[in-house]
Amino acid sequence: MATKKKINKVEVRSFNSTANILFNIMIALFAISCVLPFIFVIMISVTSEQSLVEMGYRFWPKEFSFEAYRYIFAGEMSKKIFQAFGVTVFVTVFGTLVNASMTSLYAYVISRSNFPFRRFFTIFALITMLFTPGIVATYLVVSNLLFLKDTIWALILPLALGPFNILVMRTFFIKTVPDSIIESARIDGASEMRIFMSIVLPLAVPGIATISLFAALGYWNDWFNALLYIQKDSLVPLQYLLMKIQNNLDYLAKNAGMGAQIQGGLAALPSESARMAIVVVSTLPIALTYPFFQRYFVGGLTIGGVKE
């Protein structure tokens, strides 16, 4: 009998090891497929323009060149790019703080069982996830009612509160902050804000880090709000500037016969490798922030994503 149990135990261990190896291979392949496009963009950005014309896109360039990066940081577009980069960094940092603060406060209130209107505000947040007012109504509110057009707030406030993050944080607070701790603090005379700042926030760091990462990605990649509300060149974010450069290059490529008439404008625009270099510069900072959130991200997402 002992031998049989031992054999069965060995067989189970062998099956688990094989399954783990297969799953690890699948995850590794998936991770490589996610990284390869960015590596491809990097290789294009360090390829000479002549090589791109002759050989096309290749993972290993025939001729390396850093002219694209020199063009970005020393060319005529450098001032606009650095200005747009600064706008994007400010909007991302400040907007993430606003988003995390508003989301945490809203979610904490509706997570407490003693709040009489928690059901109403939970359904209210859920309805905004299922039904949106549309672009026209949103534009009229932001421009004509709130007067945010051509202001930095037009890039921050439309993304300052999201129903998905609210529901994630609500579940996170319910699962990780027991009512007994809150009641003990109230008995000791602590105010609601003191309870939230001193007790709830330290326990909710993984959840806040998770929604902060979502918010930062949203602000960093946002260009649509700039398209709708921003006309001042000083407030153009980096992603919207990249989109305009892309549109200009596509227009010139489709109207090659106009090249003789607009040589000056064509020379002022980035080349193909310079455009890829701009993509690298705009993507790398937000990609480097992920390792700082990684230790909290998985725990915060899994706990906050559990259905109550």
* More confident call, 227 vs 114: 227
Q: Residue 55 — very low, low, confident or very high, per pLDDT cuts 50/70/90?
A: confident
Average pLDDT, the chain: 78
CATH hierarchy code of domain 76-304: 1.10.3720.10
Portion of the chain with pLDDT greater than 70, in percent: 80
How confident is the model at residue 94, as a pLDDT?
94
Identity of the highest mean pLDDT range in 31-35, 175-179, 225-229: 225-229
Three-state SS string across the chain, please? CHHHHHHHHHHHHHHHHHHHHHHHHHHHHHHHHHHHHHHHHHHHHCECHHHHHHHCCCCCCCCECCHHHHHHHHCCCHHHHHHHHHHHHHHHHHHHHHHHHHHHHHHHHHHCCCCCCHHHHHHHHHHHHHCCCCHHHHHHHHHHHCCCCCCHHHHCHHHCCCHHHHHHHHHHHHHHCCHHHHHHHHHCCCCHHHHHHHHHHHHCHHHHHHHHHHHHHHHHHCCHHHHHHCCCHHHCCHHHHHHHHHHHHHHHHHCHHHCCCCHHHHHHCCCHHHHHHHHHHHHHHHHHHHHHHHHHHHHHHHHHCCCC
Task: Express each pLDDT in 208-253 by its tens digit.
Answer: 888 888 898 899 988 899 999 988 888 889 888 878 777 766 666 5
> Is the pLDDT at 116 greater than 60, yes or no?
yes
Portion of the chain with pLDDT greater than 90, in percent: 10
> Is the pLDDT at 269 greater than 50, yes or no?
no
How confident is the model at residue 306, as a pLDDT?
45
How confident is the model at residue 9, as a pLDDT?
45
